[in-house]
Amino acid sequence: MQPRNSRLNSSALRGAVDLAAVKAAGEAAQKAEQARAERARQAAAAEADGVAPQSAYQLVIDVTEDTFETEVVQRSTEVPVVIDFWAEWCGPCKQLSPILEGLAEEYAGAFVLAKIDVDANQLIAQQFGIQGIPAVMAVVAGQLVPLFQGAESAANVRKVLDQLILVAEQRFGISGGAVAPAGEAAEAAGPQRPEDPALAAAHDALDAGDLGGAIQAYRNVLADQPGNTEAKLGLAQAELLKRVEGLDLQAVRAAAAADPKDVGTQLQAADLDLVGGHVEDAFGRLVDTVGRTFGEDRDTARLRLLELFEVIGPEDPRVVAARTALARVLF
């Protein structure tokens, strides 16, 4: 999302930088727990009635523009939804689609495969920026996760899916799978874990535009819980928003283009790229800056790139690719 003028402000940026999905992670985890509890309750009721429990999800579904909100966005709060963008005329699609469908059966509900015909659903394809097919993306807790484009082997796809499922569970508390056995119903349906008050205060400060307060609140959480992933993501996001507050987008980009060796300007431009959703551009700019600088300047650019990795999340494929590119210029 871009503001109407070139001067960015924190309220506009909060909409643009939904990249870390900080608050969404906590909310999604709660929804996932509630959904699992409900499925467990239904399974227990079915078994009590002598009915065999059914799979929680239809594993492969055809999605249209009319059903996208329900079948993809809403469903993604309970289970990772992998989207296969395909078309009847696409030869590589005919190689990849059976692999994805077979893995959906093999993984038995750990993810749902949503198939979208780009010819019949051109608006969705445009919104996702699909430029070639087959293209595979995922939605987790309403957040887009790009996966890969082009035909891949089953072994390579399996690696991507394993990583996606791990991210969904660790960051969002979302895991698919069949309905819980009836014996687990009581435990699953137990009281929900309340949100950490300190973390809630940090989220509230971020929502209110109190970036300084949010930064301090997230640091307080991390002082007591150094491994709190949600707080790390929140802190990275709040610090990014604070850095770009009041920057003139056009002026920064013009200055960065005029002097590629000016590290400070390149850092500002990379921050603005990330806030605007241009993740690869931000990473590429800083990798190039690391490659053309030395000493303290190089270390400054490298550390900023690592900070931006935290905003996106270490498991994101774009972060993985940028880490590889960084290693090449460093070593």
Distance CA(319)–CA(271), nearest Å, equals 15
Q: How far apart, in Å, do the first and last CA atoms of the chain sit?
A: 36
Q: Given the DSSP bridges, would you call strands 112-117 and 60-62 parallel, antiparallel or unpaired?
A: parallel
Catalytic residue positions?
A: 90, 93
Query: Tokens 């727990």 appear where?
Result: 33
Alpha-carbon distance of 63 to 69, in angstroms, equals: 9
* Cα–Cα distance, 47 to 50 (Å, whole number): 5
Q: What are phi and psi of 170, to 5 degrees?
A: -75, -40
The 3-class SS string of 85-149 reads EECCCCHHHHHHHHHHHHHHHHHCCCCEEEEEECCCCHHHHHHCCCCCCCEEEEEECCEEEEEEE
Is-contact 77 206, C-beta < 8 A?
no
